[in-house]
């Protein structure tokens, strides 16, 4: 930080010392021109009044050498003709060399003043930048603290959800085992009084709780970053049929069409996790569609992705629910009791974990539509 603050001052000094030789060079050029102009004026004066003397003077100027002897003789001549020892100083003053020095001095003074002004401005700018940087650092630190706080709270929430889910899952397994044994031991005696149907009802409720706890655990694992999706070749047609059968039963109807038709559609992903996602989507369709019509599934192969479109023939979604359908714990207005709003959220996490997207909308004619886009990342062959 200290080095950055000194940099503008150093730059100003560098500029000053770079400009200084230029000013001195200009000063020398002006002095040379002044001397040349004076000599030319002297030659012109001699030429007008004494042409012969001018010729001799020019010959001496071009042929005579600058020696100590000639310089001493020149001073002696000036003294003899009454110009005293300081004759050369008077001569230089008469040529007005002082104006050149004054101009050079003024330029140097202006340059120094400009350097001083730039230095002050630079220091102020540096101070302002330093304050702004400190403010930005403080804001970033505060934001990092907030992010760390929220991240820690989120981790605690995920840990809490997983812990609760595991604690619920253990007694459920024990109750299901006990009911199973009870059903085997008293099945014949209980059939007449409805015992078997009650036991089966208990199994159904316990299975729902077990699925709920598994979903909570899966959500916690994915948001904690502990889930690693495998990437293996999957036949999408087989995945969709297996998922629909698990969600709606083997007797339910699904109308699957592929584009282009007759071509195998192979996707590299995690079969079990994707099956979990599509089970939730098909379950949502069958629960809200009482028309008896088959669920329509369209699987289209594009150059860089697969587009899967799932449509039921139910009442569809309410427009106010569409922006929040995939939010955790969100319950649409027409949803049945017994739901907690985590199924579609789990779908979103799984699809996005495969670098895909999932959206919901209403069909132009009737029913709800889910559109899933899965990018086609093919596995590289091992060398």
Global pTM reads 0.53
> pLDDT in tens for each of the 383 residues of the chain?
444 444 455 565 566 666 667 666 776 677 677 777 777 877 888 788 888 888 887 787 777 777 888 778 877 887 877 777 666 666 666 666 666 666 677 767 777 777 777 777 777 777 888 888 888 888 888 888 888 877 777 776 666 666 666 667 766 777 777 777 776 766 544 454 555 666 777 777 777 777 777 777 777 777 777 788 888 999 999 999 999 999 888 777 889 999 888 788 999 999 999 999 999 999 989 888 888 889 999 999 998 999 999 999 988 999 989 998 898 878 787 665 556 678 898 899 999 999 999 999 999 888 999 999 999 865 554 44
- Copy the structure tokens of residue 364: 């132009």
What contacts 12, CB < 8 A, 6 or more positions away? 115, 118, 119, 122
Q: What is the Cα–Cα distance from 130 to 339, expressed in whole angstroms?
A: 55
Q: Burial-class residue 268 by CB neighbours within 10 Å (0-12, 13-18, 19+).
A: middle
Element (H, E) at 368: strand 368-375
- What count of residues does the chain have? 383
Cα 240–chain centre separation? 36
pLDDT of residue 4: 46
- Using the 8-state DSSP alphabet, how is residue 236 labeled? H
Q: What is the Cα–Cα distance from 340 to 213, expressed in whole angstroms?
A: 11
Q: What is the Cα–Cα distance from 289 to 254, expressed in whole angstroms?
A: 13
Q: What is the dihedral of CA 198, 199, 205, 210, to 10 degrees?
A: 180
Q: What is the Cα–Cα distance from 128 to 134, expressed in whole angstroms?
A: 10
- Copy the structure tokens of residue 292: 């008896």
Phi, psi of 254 (to 5 degrees): -135, 130
pLDDT of residue 90: 67
Q: What is the Cα–Cα distance from 244 to 77, expressed in whole angstroms?
A: 124
Q: What is the Cα–Cα distance from 196 to 189, expressed in whole angstroms?
A: 9
Q: What is the Cα–Cα distance from 196 to 185, expressed in whole angstroms?
A: 11
What contacts 285, CB < 8 A, 6 or more positions away? 295, 310, 311, 312, 314, 368, 370
Positive/negative CA dihedral, 65, 66, 67, 69: positive
pLDDT of residue 15: 63
Q: What is the Cα–Cα distance from 41 to 9, expressed in whole angstroms?
A: 48
Q: Edge-to-edge strand order for the sheet containing 357-362?
A: 254-259, 295-301, 305-311, 368-375, 357-362
- Copy the structure tokens of residue 294: 């088959």
């Amino acid at each position: 930080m200290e080095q950055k603050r000194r940099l503008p001052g150093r730059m100003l000094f560098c500029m000053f010392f770079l400009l200084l030789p230029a000013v001195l060079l200009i000063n020398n050029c002006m002095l040379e021109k002044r001397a040349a102009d004076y000599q030319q004026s002297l030659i012109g004066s001699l030429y007008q009044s004494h042409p012969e003397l001018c010729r001799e003077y020019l010959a001496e100027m071009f042929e005579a050498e600058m020696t100590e002897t000639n310089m001493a003789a020149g001073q002696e001549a000036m003294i003899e003709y009454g110009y005293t020892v300081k004759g050369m100083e008077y001569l230089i003053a008469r040529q007005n060399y002082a104006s050149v020095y004054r101009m050079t001095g003024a330029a140097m003074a202006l340059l120094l003043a400009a350097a001083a002004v730039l230095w002050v401005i630079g220091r102020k700018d540096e101070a302002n930048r330093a304050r702004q940087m400190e403010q930005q650092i403080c804001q970033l630190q505060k934001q990092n603290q907030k992010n760390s706080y929220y991240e820690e709270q989120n981790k605690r929430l995920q840990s809490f959800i997983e812990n609760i889910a595991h604690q619920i899952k253990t007694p459920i397994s024990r109750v299901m085992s006990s009911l199973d044994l009870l059903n085997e031991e008293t099945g014949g005696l209980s059939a007449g009084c409805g015992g078997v149907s009650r036991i089966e009802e208990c199994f159904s409720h316990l299975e729902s709780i077990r699925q709920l706890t598994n979903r909570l655990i899966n959500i916690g694992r994915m948001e904690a970053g502990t889930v690693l999706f495998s990437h293996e070749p999957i036949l999408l047609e087989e995945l969709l049929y297996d998922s629909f059968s698990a969600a709606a039963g083997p007797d339910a109807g699904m109308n699957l069409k592929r584009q282009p038709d007759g071509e195998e559609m192979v996707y590299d992903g995690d079969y079990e996790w994707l099956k979990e996602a599509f089970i939730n989507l098909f379950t949502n369709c069958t629960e809200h569609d009482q028309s008896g019509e088959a669920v329509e599934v369209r699987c289209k192969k594009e150059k860089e992705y697969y587009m899967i479109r799932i449509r039921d023939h139910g009442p569809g979604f309410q427009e106010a629910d569409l922006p929040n359908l995939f939010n955790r714990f969100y319950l649409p207005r027409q949803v049945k009791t017994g739901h907690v709003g985590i199924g579609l959220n789990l779908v979103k996490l799984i699809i996005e974990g495969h670098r895909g997207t999932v959206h919901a909308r209403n069909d132009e004619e009737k029913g709800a539509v889910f559109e899933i886009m899965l990018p086609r990342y093919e596995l590289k062959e091992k060398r």
